[in-house]
Chains A and B, each alone.
Chain A
């Protein structure tokens, strides 16, 4: 089992979701986060004063999958989120030792899907 964490551009969320559904990955957790990669900030201007170098708004996706779904999931995220510009984000794939479904107490493979 793997835990896939992806940091993507907020405006790409809809497209990534579409790609994931196409790949039959329907279970995910989404949160709004702030982060700093190589991308320079969008300049915001408040009463004439420029704000740059801020932490940028990003979307963080967390998806737990069985091993045979890892590639499909990663490919789906890439095809939804890639623009080719800096700031497209990153995907982290982590080992996941255990997963438990609270309602039934099932563990492992059954609990994930």
Chain B
């Protein structure tokens, strides 16, 4: 039975999640040097175009049609048999296409997250190929394993409310691979001052706003679970933002704008898998915890190992996602969501083990397939722009446009 309230809510949530990708574009775009800002915005925007098509043509079928336990079939290609009646295995009260378009927005933003790791040095053509291959061979299978009918992680009992494993760990691991694979940017030390921090703040604000669609919308109905997800999402972001500001204050003498928004985004990442299963106190703890861990990752670990994760896609999304998935195994509570499970702190160590297993499988799968994709694309077209193109900047060298004029 189609419920109009649920349908309206899910469609609205889908629109909110779409807005996260331009939000991410500004979040990342502000962080790069000004000769590369259009390069980043373009990569994010073209993903909205490319993945929207990939999804309706065959991506949704690979991810969500009943197939085997690893990947869906091709039965729903071109949205064949994906109609306006509900498909009860996913969402019993909204048209199947509403579920499909909500999921489309997740498929769009996930590869966009990876951009942060290879920003400022990747060839546009190679980027397009990597994106399409990655969406098809990494995102779609992982989405199927975790969320799809018959997917083995779903049957295994792993909890991932809104995409901690599928979206954040998955993209985070791919981000680390791409940073290592492409190597360091030229003439770059460890800290590159953001060329437009207000853009980054605007982007973080749009991400926070859009995340209500991402997390609350994942309840797939206008109901109590959605409200819980909305409340804990806001709470975790707040706790994480304050935590990062305080760490900055204690460690560097002043609380920074950049740190505060980085913390808030880390909090949003970490609460994502837990949003439908935990209450506000665990949400605060998750927010505090994730900022502490991500702070260490981006200020110490990255520098120690020397990989150039330009905009900390791995440090924030990968690590925040892993932390959130494990925290779900600690704090999940059946009183919040009877369809979930109790976590370690409610006396069920099994869930924590399942979560750990799901995290490890996602990391290993994403690692292996992403490395393969990068090798293949590097072999055929080359991943990195020429040295001179990199020095001139991606805006002029890849797109023949400049973001800012000098006069007028």
Task: List residues of chain A with CB under 8 Å of any chain B CB.
Answer: 10-12, 14, 32-34, 42-46, 57
CA distance A6 to B393 in the complex (A): 22
A34's contact among B388, B396, B401, B407, by CB below 8 Å, is which?
B407
Docked pose: A43 CA to B399 CA in angstroms: 11
Q: Number of residues in B with C-beta < 8 Å to the partner?
A: 12
Taking the complex as formed, is B252 at the interface, i.e. its CB lies under 8 A from any CB of chain A?
A: no
| B400 CB–A CB distance under 8 Å | yes
What distance in Å separates the Cβ of A39 from its nearest Cβ neighbour in chain B? 14
Asked if B402 is at the interface (CB within 8 A of a chain A CB), the reply is yes
Q: Is B406 positioned at the interface, with any CB of A under 8 Å from its CB?
A: yes
Q: Which residue of A lies closest to B400 (CB)?
A: A45
Which residues in A have their C-beta under 8 angstroms from that of B393? 11
Within 8 A of A (CB), among B367-408: 388, 391-393, 396, 400-402, 406-407
Q: Which residue of A lies closest to B393 (CB)?
A: A11
> How far does the alpha carbon of A109 sit from the alpha carbon of B378 in the complex, in Å?
55
Chain A residues, Cβ within 8 Å of B407:
34
Bound form: Cα–Cα A44–B402 in Å: 8
> How far apart sit A111 and B277, CA to CA, in the bound complex (Å)?
68
B residues with CB within 8 A of A: 186-187, 388, 391-393, 396, 400-402, 406-407
Interface of B is mostly: loop
- Beyond the given pairs A11-B388, A14-B391, A44-B400, 19 more chain A to chain B contacts, judged by CB atoms under 8 angstroms and listed by A's residue number, are A10-B392, A11-B391, A11-B392, A11-B393, A12-B391, A14-B186, A14-B187, A32-B406, A33-B406, A34-B406, A42-B396, A43-B400, A44-B396, A44-B401, A44-B402, A45-B400, A45-B401, A57-B402, A57-B406
Residues of B within 8 A of A33 (CB): 406
A42 to B391, CA, bound (A): 15
Residue of A nearest to B188 (CB): A14
Cα separation A10 to B406 with both chains bound (whole Å): 13
The interface residues of chain B lying within 8 Å CB-to-CB of A12 are: 391
Please name all residues of chain B whose beta carbon is closer than 8 Å to the beta carbon of A45 when the two chains form the complex.
Answer: 400-401
Nearest opposing residue in chain B for A57, CB measure: B406
Given the interface contacts A32-B406, A34-B406, does A46 sit within 8 Å of B391 by beta carbon?
A: no
Q: What separation, in Å, do the CA atoms of A32 and B35 have in the docked complex?
A: 13
Q: Which residues of A sit under 8 angstroms from B401, Cβ to Cβ?
A: 44-46
Q: Which residues of A contact B388 (CB under 8 A)?
A: 11
**B18 → chain A closest CB, angstroms:** 24
Nearest B residue to A50 by beta-carbon distance? B400
Q: Which residues of B sit under 8 angstroms from A14, Cβ to Cβ?
A: 186-187, 391
Instruction: Please list 11 pairs of residues, one from A and one from B, whose beta carbons are closer than 8 Å in the complex, sorted by A's number.
Output: A10-B392, A11-B392, A11-B393, A32-B406, A42-B400, A44-B396, A44-B400, A44-B402, A45-B400, A46-B401, A57-B402
Bound state CA distance, A45 and B395, in angstroms? 11
| Assembly CA distance A11 to B187 (angstroms) | 11
